[in-house]
Amino acid sequence: MDINHKLEELALSLYHIDAVKFGDFVTKSGIKTPVYFDLRVIVSYPGVMELISLLLYDNAIKDSKFDHVCGVPYTALPIATLLSVKTKKSMLMRRKETKSYGTKKSIEGHYKQGETCLIIEDVITSGSSVMETVTDLKKEGLKVEEAVIILDREQGGKTNLEANNIQIKSLFTMTELINILVKNNKISK
């Protein structure tokens, strides 16, 4: 099956598991939108998670050079885990809140300063969640040059991240995903 058919299969799967919602929503960035992508539900669908990880690997990761993967908390963590296993690269975890006890680390895992970390994210709108993760990783002496994304909402995130020297590769843009759903008579324009 070629890449376009696999992407179409993923888009339809996301629609069927109710990861694509229509109505009146506000994103984390404060932007009002009639389309919301709730990819937190993918943890209940191992086949969808596997398809996402395979597509990200084949289309965005296999030629990249990196030492670690780090999923943006929390939705991207299961995909980062699968990609860590697939690539045989260690996974780092960023805490949203630094612990006030024990090691008080914001980044969990074993790494050395100067190593490169690839960021995994589910959806970008403004890119702020990715930048928060980039900032914490860089504070620990890690290099971050690239992020792979399931869905780019096309609302400035890619531009903002590239302005901060973070290259973005995504499986879909919002336009591409919506076009697949229209083509398959799931929604109308």
- CA 81/CA 74 separation, integer angstroms: 12
Mean pLDDT over 83-101 rounds to 89
Mean pLDDT over 43-47 rounds to 98
Q: Which class is domain 3-183?
A: alpha beta
pLDDT at 46: 98
Whole-number average pLDDT of the chain? 94
Q: Could you state, in order of their start, the residue ranges of all structural domains in the chain?
A: 3-183
Residue with tokens 């302005």: 163
Peptide bond into 45 cis (omega under 30): no
pLDDT at 97: 75
Question: What pLDDT digit, counting tens, does each position of 96-139 carry?
Answer: 876 666 667 899 999 999 999 999 999 999 999 999 999 999 99
Residues in CB range of 187: below 8 A, 6 or more apart: 22, 178, 181
Going by C-alpha positions, the residue among 122, 113, 73, 65 that lies closest to residue 93 is 73
Helix (H, G, I), strand (E, B) or coil at 101: coil
Q: Which letter does DSSP use for residue 106 in this model?
A: S
